[in-house]
Amino acid sequence: MSYLVLARKYRPKDFESIVGQDHVVRALTHALESGRLHHAYLFTGTRGIGKTTLSRILAKSLNCEKGITASPCGTCEACRAIDSDRFVDYVEMDAASNRGIADMLQILEQAVYAPTAARFKVYMIDEVHMLTQQAFNAMLKTLEEPPEYVKFILATTDPQKIPVTVLSRCLQFNLKQMPVPQIVTHLEGILAKEGIACEKTALQLLAKGAHGSMRDALSLTDQAIAYTAGNVTAQAVQDMLGALDQTYLVRLLDCLAARDGAGLLSVADEMAARSLSYNTALQDLGTLLHRIAIIQQVPDYLSEELPDHADLSRFANAFSPEEIQLYYQIAIHGRDELGLAPDEYAGFSMTLLRMLAFLPDDRSVNRPARKTENVRAAVKKTVVASADRTQYATVGDAKTDDMPQPAARTMVNMPRKSAAVAVSAELGRAAGACVAETARPEKEVVTAGGLAKQDTVPAVSQSEKKRSPVWDGDWPTLAAGLPVRGLVQQLAQQTELVRWEEKDGGMLIHLKSPAVTLCAPNYVGKLASVLEEHFGCPVAITTETGKVEATVSRNAARARAERQKQAEEAMKNDPYIRNLTDVFGGHIVEGSIKPL
């Protein structure tokens, strides 16, 4: 007896055997049970997901000898004939090879005759989008009002190419691609029936390679059985598919965590020696990073039974969520840029080096960068000293006091409390949040030789802490330099200072805004917090709305307009330009002059 491939041998014979299309099965079952039968059905979806199978089951349900039913017997003459594709009243037409008006007219001429040995005459037109416009036009009238004993079933992988006049005459069902877990479960059952040993990892590789098509998955399984001589192992399937071994990706992330650039390039060289696809490698790396991000944010979402769950958990602790998101973006953009690189090796290795280049300075292979200890270490590395070398500033565990000039990395003339602003601007909000947490009784003094511990620190009186700063009231200049972003930045740069005053050791600032939306309490509160850090004293902000003039945005616009005017005047008065316009009758194109 000749061998029957798995895709044909295990083709579903009833609705209960259909995998992954529950929404379509439910609708058809209810329609058959209630007797609400439409005259035309349209099944859409990618290849190998059950369009033809559903049409055959529907044809059996309509013509089963026990009556119209959602559970055809499968044993009567009509059911067996439809399964073997020899039922005279069930016609399957391939529109890819019979697409002309003559082919369609032949079907329509036969449709007027009653069925020979069945309850309904069923016409199944596969890849219906391949029909010509004339063929579509010819079938419209019959499709809208066919004889009561005729049913049309249309199937297509590209419904966008079907005329809307045809779509409006059909009940449309969109079949879904098969998810990997469902394909794996189905393959496990089939191989168990066949008595073939397999590894679950191998089935996962086959399911991924099928790209949502159950028929492709069964065809790949047939190939794997032949390739492995009846023992479907993960290593053999990887070799058969040319898939990337997951260990390469794990080694890449280990090297990245260890900041081992030589190791990254060594893995890339090994992949080149085995002629592995760098495009596939970046695709799989993006998938791996996606799973790591899921474990970081939703730890219980992925099953612990996954073969690589231990590595995923390890990397989730080794990298911060921000790093994983950054590496994911680098991986997917690197994949898009492979075609632009001098060669695929250069594009792949440059993507890896880009990931290495964006590692923060305080990254540790043994702990995430978001830990408080790492931020403290970064704060210690940031030295802020006053210009007169007599001020004293404490930021976390680091402080400066009479620091010799060569040891200062950044010289800023600012009040004591504003030292925190410089650190926050460099390290971000995370460092700023840790500043208050890391204050200790024992302080450290920055000297030219490094950090030295000191048991006591000079006392700062309460009156000195609340001393109001000296400010000339130049709000545009101040607002332009504040470390703010987003709508808080817009609030600062689009408002005009109405008045300000010193009050109870602090400041009261009244601003005028052109839009009431900028004056939301949370934006005003954030701006006040930044100003408190800048001035070193409490700051209260009140607002009003109205027309503004002296703002950062208005000043910048006026400056741009002035530069544009000067550039235009310079061009118009240029002797060479004037000579060209006079001799050749030319003119300067409006809007073409841009200031440098």
Q: Is residue 369 part of a domain?
A: no
151, 16: one domain? yes
Say how many C-beta atoms besides its own lie within 10 A of residue 302's C-beta.
Answer: 16
Say how many C-beta atoms besides its own lie within 10 A of residue 326's C-beta.
Answer: 17
CA–CA dist 464, 426 (Å, integer): 27
Contact between 513 and 498 (Cβ < 8 Å): no
pLDDT of residue 230: 84
Q: Is residue 126 part of a domain?
A: yes
CA–CA dist 332, 319 (Å, integer): 18
CA–CA dist 568, 566 (Å, integer): 5
Q: Which two tokens stand for residue 75?
A: 């044993």
* Domain limits for position 45: 6-174
25, 159: one domain? yes
20, 160: one domain? yes
CA–CA dist 340, 338 (Å, integer): 5
201, 307: one domain? no
487: domain CATH number is 3.30.300.150
Query: CA 19: distance to chain centroid?
Result: 28
Task: Determine the 3-state secondary structure of 451 from DSSP.
Answer: strand
CA–CA dist 188, 485 (Å, integer): 54
483, 448: one domain? no
79, 161: one domain? yes
Secondary structure of 283-334 as H, E, C letters: HHHHHHHHHHHHHHHCCCCCCCCCCCHHHHHHHHHHCCHHHHHHHHHHHHHH
The CA R_g of the chain, rounded to the nearest whole Å, is 37
Q: Which two tokens stand for residue 479?
A: 């607002």
Tell the burial category of 116 from Cβ atoms under 10 Å away from its Cβ (0-12, 13-18, 19+): exposed
CA–CA dist 49, 177 (Å, integer): 7
102: domain CATH number is 3.40.50.300
Helical spans, DSSP H, in 69-179: 77-83, 101-111, 133-144, 164-167
Q: Is residue 133 part of a domain?
A: yes
Contact between 69 and 31 (Cβ < 8 Å): no
Q: Which residues fall within 8 angstroms of residue 435, CB to CB, at 6 or more apart?
A: 379, 395, 396, 420, 423, 424
Q: Which two tokens stand for residue 191?
A: 């191989």
381, 337: one domain? no
> Which of 492, 531, 529, 539 lies closest to 514 in space, CA to CA?
492
168, 78: one domain? yes
pLDDT of residue 593: 83
User: In tens digits, what is the pLDDT along the chain, a chain of 596 residues?
Assistant: 478 899 999 999 999 999 989 999 999 999 999 989 999 999 999 999 999 999 999 999 999 998 999 999 989 999 999 998 889 999 999 998 888 999 899 989 988 889 988 899 999 999 999 999 999 999 999 999 999 999 999 999 999 999 999 999 999 999 999 888 899 999 999 999 999 999 888 898 899 888 889 999 999 999 999 998 888 988 888 888 876 778 889 999 999 988 889 999 999 999 888 888 899 899 989 999 998 999 998 888 877 666 677 888 888 888 889 999 999 999 999 999 998 999 999 999 999 999 988 866 554 433 444 443 443 444 344 333 333 333 333 333 333 343 333 333 333 333 333 333 333 333 344 443 433 343 333 433 333 334 343 443 344 344 344 444 578 888 998 998 899 888 888 899 889 999 998 888 888 999 999 888 888 888 899 999 999 988 889 999 999 988 888 898 888 888 888 888 888 888 888 888 888 888 887 778 877 888 87
187: domain CATH number is 1.10.8.60
Q: Is residue 365 part of a domain?
A: no
Q: Is residue 414 part of a domain?
A: yes
Tell the burial category of 396 from Cβ atoms under 10 Å away from its Cβ (0-12, 13-18, 19+): buried
109, 63: one domain? yes
pLDDT of residue 99: 87
What are residue 152's DSSP bridge partners?
40, 123
| DSSP letter assigned to residue 70 | S
pLDDT of residue 253: 92
63, 192: one domain? no
Task: Determine the 3-state secondary structure of 427 from DSSP.
Answer: helix
Query: CA 465: distance to chain centroid?
Result: 48
Task: Determine the 3-state secondary structure of 498 from DSSP.
Answer: strand
Domain closes at, from 241, 272, 290: 241
Amino acid at 338: L
Domain closes at, from 123, 143, 174: 174
pTM as predicted: 0.54
307: domain CATH number is 1.20.272.10
What are 26-34's contacts with CB under 8 Å, separation 24+? 27/173, 28/54, 28/58, 28/61, 28/70, 28/173, 29/70, 32/61, 32/62, 32/68, 32/69, 32/70, 33/69, 33/70
Amino acid at 272: A
User: How many domains does one find in the chain?
Assistant: 6
CA–CA dist 192, 214 (Å, integer): 17
Report the interhelical angle of 246-257 vs 261-273 (nearest 10°): 160
CA–CA dist 535, 482 (Å, integer): 11
47, 158: one domain? yes
pLDDT of residue 234: 86
Q: Is residue 465 part of a domain?
A: no
CA–CA dist 284, 435 (Å, integer): 39
Q: Which two tokens stand for residue 564?
A: 């544009």
Contact between 39 and 251 (Cβ < 8 Å): no
Q: Is residue 467 part of a domain?
A: no
118, 143: one domain? yes
Domain closes at, from 297, 329, 357: 357
Q: Is residue 366 part of a domain?
A: no
Sheet holding 150-156, edge to edge: 90-94, 121-126, 150-156, 40-44, 171-174
